[in-house]
Structure 1
Amino acid sequence: MANPNAELIERFYRSFQALDAEGMAACYAHDIRFQDPVFGTLHGGEAADMWRMLLARAADFSLTYGNIRTSGQTASAASVATYRFTPTGRTVVNDIRSRFAIRDGLIVEHTDSFDLWRWSRQALGLKGWLFGATPLVQKALRKEARRNLADFRRKRGS
């Protein structure tokens, strides 16, 4: 018998691979809580809109995933997203570990973990290498990401 929680996570990642933000959003509960090192914590429609924004801007994107594991109403997975960071044109290979909580067949919590300094070195080049590990630069990255999301949501009328 197939594991419905593993199938849900598989569906989420297949949608991600296909740049299908609506498919990803359909895997989320309306009260989703998403967290990662760049955006911090997002709730509800913010999380779905983050994927809509990111995937609409995706350039030279590919995703591999695997190691999906489930236990009760939790799941975990590993993925590697490769893409061109549009503001600098630099290629990023982001190695991500994800944890999920599931309720009623939908993801209610999604936490992505990755090395923000490693990400900033790839995305920003020398500036990221020299300063990407500092709280000041990391705070600026988060602020810019949140501002971009707010602008995207405003334009969408979300």
Structure 2
Amino acid sequence: MKSEESLNHESLLRNFYEAFARGDADAMAASYHDQASFSDPVFPGLDAPQVRAMWKMLTSQATDLKLEFSQITADEQGGSAHWDAYYTFSVSGNMVHNSIDATFEFRDGLIYRHVDTFGFWRWSKQALGVPGLLMGWSPMLRGVVRKQAAKSLAKWQAKEAAAQ
């Protein structure tokens, strides 16, 4: 039988992905601890303000996002989930189906560490087309994509700060 804390963590993750599917970045942000971190192949090493801004940026720019999630499990310390995102990549206009596995650590009933893993080459072939097909395996292309993503996030955060 699962502990109450395990059930609460499973509920936290389910609510997080339900909010994501609705495009509710504020509800997603509320799921994170103030010292949270996030990492994936495109956005590595984000701190809590950056991860909250990233989700807000991504959900606000998504015009046709379809999200499916499954395999949510959690215990007192950590959890995992699988999710699939279907969307048009704004830079290229290409349709993408990204299949992601997520792992979590919890602190104080919130997400403390969140790591998403997915095949960068598989993603880049879909998102970037021929350049992704030819170069998606290379650290160079990954670096270019990460640099552009970091620049977009910093620009988004500056715009949000100026609006307040």
Q: Separation in 1 of the partners of 2:63 and 2:93?
A: 9
Q: Does 1:112 align with 2:112?
A: no
Of 36, 39, 64, the residue aligned with 1:35 is 39
> Is 1:150 aligned to residue 154 of structure 2?
yes
The runs of at least 4 consecutive aligned structure 1 residues that moved more than 2 Å come to: none
**Contact 1:98–1:112 at 8 Å: present in 2 too?**
yes
Q: SS of 2:137's equivalent?
A: coil
Aligned residue number for residue 15 of structure 1: 19
TM-score of the superposed pair, with normalisation by structure 1 = 0.97
CA offset at residue 72 of structure 1?
2.3
1:60 to 60, 64, 68: 64
| Residue pair 1:33, 1:110 contacting (<8 A) in 2 also | yes
Give the aligned partner of residue 86 of structure 1.
Answer: 90
State the SS of the aligned residue for 1:60. coil
Stretches of structure 1 lacking an aligned partner (at least 5 in a row): none
Identity among equivalent pairs (%): 39
Residue of 125, 130, 133 corresponding to 1:126? 130
Q: CA deviation at 1:60?
A: 1.2
Match of 2:104 in 1: 100
1:76 aligns with 2:77: no
Residues in 1 aligned to 2:56 and 2:74: alpha-carbon distance in whole angstroms = 26
Whichever structure has more strand as a proportion of its residues is 1
> Residue 132 of structure 1: CA displacement?
1.1
How far apart in 2 are the matches of 1:39 and 1:144? Answer: 10
Q: How many residues align?
A: 158
The TM-score with structure 2 as length reference comes to: 0.94
SS at match of 2:28: helix
Structure 1 distance, partners of 2:141, 2:59, is: 24
List gaps (5 residues or longer) in structure 2: none
Q: Give, in angstroms, the shift of residue 103 of structure 1.
A: 1.1
Residue type at the aligned position of 1:122: Q
